[in-house]
Structures are given as structure tokens and as C-alpha cells.
Amino acid sequence: MDLINGFLNLVAPPFTFFALLLFLPPWIFFKFCLGILRSIFTENVYGKVVLITGASSGIGEHLAYEYASRRACLALSARRESRLREVANRCRQIGSPDVIVIRADVSNAHDCKQLVDQTVHHFHRLDHLVNNAGIAQVCMLEDADDITNLRPVMDINFWGSVYTTKFAAPYLRNSRGRIIVLSSSASWMPVPRMSLYNASKAALFQFYETLRVEFGSDIGITIVTPGFIESELTQGKFLSHEGKMIVDYDARDVQVNLTPVGRVAGCARGIVKRAMRGDRYVTEPRWMKMTYVWKVLWPEAVEWTNQLMCMTKVGGESRHDTFGKKILDITGVQNILYPENIQSSEMKSD
């Protein structure tokens, strides 16, 4: 066995290099032609049934509006039922022929089963499952007095998607449907203070990559890896080290830093358009793909940049006195980088 591994250690690198030289150019050309065909013959979701988790705000809310504008039937789920009903009413006004609201906590497997069952009982089918529900934690690992307070991050972000996918899979196979899952560019970017959030999104990515093999062509999978998009997260709503949901604008500025925040409507439009085209991956904004290239080719530079911008203190003793936050405060570039509706109340009153 050691002899075989030693042989592969010698052969695998040159074989991979020459195989890429030989097969990659024609494969890229084939994918280019396939992309053109998919752009012409996109999926029509008119009358199809779409189940969206985390639909009460942010990307999930606007995904509902995008599907509604294409006259899909919607099952909207979140924990805030009153907010869900507001979103549902707007979806009906936009053009959805039928919308139901289901209050559910995706971290609870029973709720997820009921969510899928109620959807299928009402519509008698399921075509698209959009796993969008998620929360973020912002704290250093060592600052958490009781690490179990941070379990909701993995329970909601990862297990919530696993549960709904498990219960929805038979119906999606029957309709040859599609799963759209909201992972994140945080799945490859080592952003400090968000270790569990980053890990949950990386787990999602690999989970659905594996399901591609298990489902084969029966169920399409689109993995979405957005950067910072206007949402409750970029409005400063986080899970604290005590396990409580808080709103902290300063912590938001430290985390988002000098990264431009994308408009949620444009992000949702791009996700639905490319999912209907059958794309395997969607990154919004598209330039965020290049951060993956940097991470693969020069990981030390990515780590150093995050350390400098998010960890290096400049004057003062506050945990928010970081280099990136100081630049934001001195230059006032929040007005350029952040959409107005996510700027802090202090900035809005200026």
C-alpha cells in the first residue's frame, strides 16, 4: 500500500497538469456553448411550487418577490409569522397565484417535516426548495463563556437545510425539481469573529456537493455564495457570545469593513435567473469569485489582510478600534459602500 501511494505521489501531479492542458480548453468551450443554450431555454416556473425558508426578510424575502413576479406558487416560512404575512401579501400583489405562510423553526426537525408536509398537502407538489434561513454569530471563540450558546448557528444554518432537504427530496425527485441553497463566500474566507458562521456555510457547501452525486440528474442543485448583501446581518443583527440576538452597528462596521454591500433586490434577481438557467453555482456580486482565487493561490495574503483590517487595533482599547473601522470612521465611506437602509441610525441622523 505504501508503494502504491508513493507511486501516486510521483505520478498524480504531472498527470493532472497534462490532463488539464489537454481537456480543460475544450471543456471550457463546451460549458460556454451550454451556457448560451441555457440562457435561451430557461426554466419556466409559472405555476410551479417554491418553498422558501427564512422568507421574512433579506435575501429570502426578495427571492419570494422574484418568484412571485414569475407567477410561481409560494410557501413562505420563517419564525416571524406577522412579517411573513406582509411578504405574502406583497407577493400576491406582484403576481403569485397562490401563497401560503407557515411558521416554522428550521432548527427543529419536526417543524421542517411539517413545513414540507403542509406545502405538499396544499399544492400537491414541490418544484423548488430554497434553503435560505440563517443567522450569524460575531464573537471570538475565546470570548464565549459557554460555547453551547452558539449552537443555534449550526442548528439553523446547517441542520435546518439538512432537515428540509431530507423531507423534501422524494417530492423533488418526483418533479425533477431544484434545490437552491444559500451558502456564503464566508465558506472560504477566514473572516475573524465569525468562525462558526463560516464553518456552517462551508459545511453546507460540501453537503450539497455530495448530494449532487447522490441525487444525480433527478434533482438540480444551485449553491449560492453571496458576499455582503443588505440584510439583517449587514444591519448589525448578530448572535452574541451570550447566545442572544443583538443589534450592534459598531460590530457590523468591524466585520463588513471596507467591503461594498450589494443590493438585495439585484442579488435575488441574479439568483433566480441563474437557478432557472440551471447554473450549479451563483456568486453575488460576481467579483467575489476572485476572493476564492486569492484564497487558493495566496492564502497567506488573505489571512494577513483580514488580520490587518479586522483585528489590528489603532488607538483606544475598544474591541471596535480596528484599522478597518478607523478608516470607515475617518473617511465616512459608509455612505458610498453601504446602501442607505443599512447605515446606522447615527449616520442616518447626520
Q: What's the sign of the alpha-carbon dihedral 205, 152, 179, 91? A: negative
**44-71: per-residue pLDDT in tens?**
999 999 999 999 999 999 999 999 999 9
Hey, which residues are catalytic here? Answer: 197
The chain-wide mean pLDDT, for the chain, equals: 91
Task: Indicate whether 32 pLDDT > 60.
Answer: yes
Spatial CA neighbour of 323 closest among 303, 305, 334, 309: 309
Of residues 8 and 222, more confidently modeled: 222
108-110-115 Cα angle (round to 5): 95
The architecture (CATH level 2) of 33-295 comes to 3-Layer(aba) Sandwich (3.40)
Q: Which three cell numbers stand for residue 65?
A: 418577490
pLDDT on residue 317 = 64
Q: Which three cell numbers stand for residue 180?
A: 437552491
Spatial CA neighbour of 66 closest among 242, 228, 270: 270
Residue pair 227/284 in contact (Cβ under 8 Å)? The answer is: yes
pLDDT, mean of residues 179-190 = 96
**DSSP per-residue letters across 72-113:** -EEEEEES-HHHHHHHHHHHHHHT-S-EEEEE--TTSHHHHH
**309-350: per-residue pLDDT in tens?**
888 887 766 777 888 888 888 888 888 888 876 664 444 333
pLDDT on residue 210 = 98
**252-303: per-residue pLDDT in tens?**
888 888 889 999 999 999 999 999 999 999 999 999 999 999 999 999 999 9
pLDDT on residue 337 = 82
Q: Map residue 221 onto helix, strand or coil.
A: strand
Alpha helices in the chain (DSSP H): 2-40, 58-69, 81-94, 109-123, 151-154, 160-175, 195-215, 249-256, 264-276, 289-297, 299-310, 323-331, 334-337, 345-348
List the chain domain ranges.
33-295, 299-348
Classify strands 49-53 and 128-131 as parallel, antiparallel or unpaired: parallel
Q: Which three cell numbers stand for residue 18?
A: 497534462
Query: Locate cell 462558526: which residue?
Result: 196
pLDDT, mean of residues 110-129 = 97
